Amino acid sequence: AAEAAWCPACGVAASAPGTQRDALLALAKQSILAKLRLPARPKVPQPPSRGALLTALRMMRAQRWDTAAAFPGMLRDGRGPLRPEMGLQEYEILSFAESGSSTSHSVRLHFRFSQEVAGTTEILQATLYLFWAAPSRGAQPITVRLLQPDPAGPNMTVASETQLEVQRSGWTTLDIGAAVQSLFGQETPRLTVELEVPEDWESPLPSNHSDSHWPFVVAQAQARTPHRVHRR
Amino acid sequence: GVDCGADSRMCCRQEFFVDFKEIGWEDWIIHPEGYHMNYCAGLCPLHVASIPGLAASFHTAVLNRIKAASAAAAVGSCCVPTQRRPLSLLYYDRDSNIVKTDIPDMIVDSCGCT
């Protein structure tokens, strides 16, 4: 009893050091998983290739410099820099494409978002990064469609469609914030990007598909503001 | 605030570092290498109640004497965090996306008596 009184506040009954250490380690795991809203630790991940990761980080940094240069001190939508001390947990998500089905003139890419994050946050910004191969002749017309699972059935619905003309090889970015936001409210937050070219054009993506040119999405999300309980 | 020593009995901050490698989480948590899960422990007798940390000054000493003498209703005073900061995590989620987040108030920097 005397020993237990020694540590009334830490909630871990004063016990043999080994047992106490195990209890604290278990507490640490439980605390981190709870704050990440994960039921258990994720399975062993399949990390992206080093080339793809380095390119994505370089592009994100360049994008951030551009934003900071254009609006010093501001973030994406004109608000001052949010800080975690304000209690709103922010997330930055980097998602690499999974190859989907393809035909002679269209390619599908899938981006998955975890339910834990999608179910409890709102999207502040989401950008799709695509690397185009050099068109074989003149400007190449490309249709970029954002597809989402149709909640009512097995089909996909078109969330948005953008017509582009690719003049030369290089990176392009597309703001997909609205599509990802509407996705975040769904059961399976998975975004499909369909790239379609006219019949006699070849695929707009590099054929060698070198890792460092693999498409990816960068999203910023913020925990939904908890409803305020006013105490009188 | 005060950091706990080997035989501290008064309210203080107990350092406790969780090495993610030790708990087998280093494969999905990219950064940092561990979590400082410090916690507050120790006694908060009446004469140090409501003083964050152990302020050592003449006025405090006098105030403490008055409190101890007043034997006011001995309401329990508790040793709690008085300053905390976020834990920044970079990890792989279930779909192997890379996620960065700052979890507010996860690391205790100092403790004091309520």
**Residues A35-84: tens digit of each pLDDT:** 998 999 999 888 888 999 999 999 888 877 666 665 554 444 444 444 44
**How far apart are the C-alpha atoms of A80 and A222, rounded to whole Å?**
14
Interface touch A117/B99, C-beta < 8 Å: yes
The mean pLDDT of B55-61, rounded to a whole number, is 67
Long-range contacts, stretch A58-67, CB < 8 angstroms, 24+ apart: A59/A129, A59/A171, A59/A218, A60/A94, A60/A218, A63/A127, A63/A173, A63/A218
Q: Binning pLDDT at 50, 70 and 90, where does residue B63 land?
A: confident
Which chain B residues are Cβ-neighbours of A4 within 8 angstroms? none
CB-side exposure of B45: number of CA atoms within 13 Å?
A: 9
Task: Give the closest of A41, A96, A117 to B25, CB-based.
Answer: A41
The mean pLDDT of B38-47, rounded to a whole number, is 87
The mean pLDDT of A106-131, rounded to a whole number, is 90
Bridge-based pairing of strands B17-19 and B79-92 is unpaired
Tell me if chain B has a CB within 8 Å of the CB of A94.
Answer: yes
Q: How far does A10 lie from chain B, in Å, by closest CA? A: 6
Question: In the numeric block, which tokens belong to residue A33?
Answer: 């998983």
**How far apart are the C-alpha atoms of A94 and B98, rounded to whole Å?**
5
What is the pLDDT, as a whole number, of residue B102?
Answer: 94
> DSSP characters for A91-154?
EEEEEE-EEEEEETTEEEEEEE--HHHHTTEEEEEEEEEEEEPPPSSSPEEEEEEEEEE-TTSS
Instruction: Report yes or no: A203 and A135 within 8 Å, Cβ to Cβ.
Output: no
Interface touch A112/B95, C-beta < 8 Å: yes
What is the pLDDT, as a whole number, of residue A208?
Answer: 61
In chain A, pLDDT over 70 holds for what percent of residues? Answer: 78
DSSP for residue B28: T
CB pairs under 8 A between A and B: 118
Q: How far does A28 lie from chain B, in Å, by closest CA? A: 7
Question: In the numeric block, which tokens belong to residue A139?
Answer: 């400007």
Q: How far does A31 lie from chain B, in Å, by closest CA? A: 9
Interface touch B91/A36, C-beta < 8 Å: yes
Lowest mean pLDDT of A38-52, A173-187, B42-56, B98-112, name the range.
Answer: B42-56
What is the pLDDT, as a whole number, of residue A8?
Answer: 46
Q: How far does A171 lie from chain B, in Å, by closest CA? A: 21
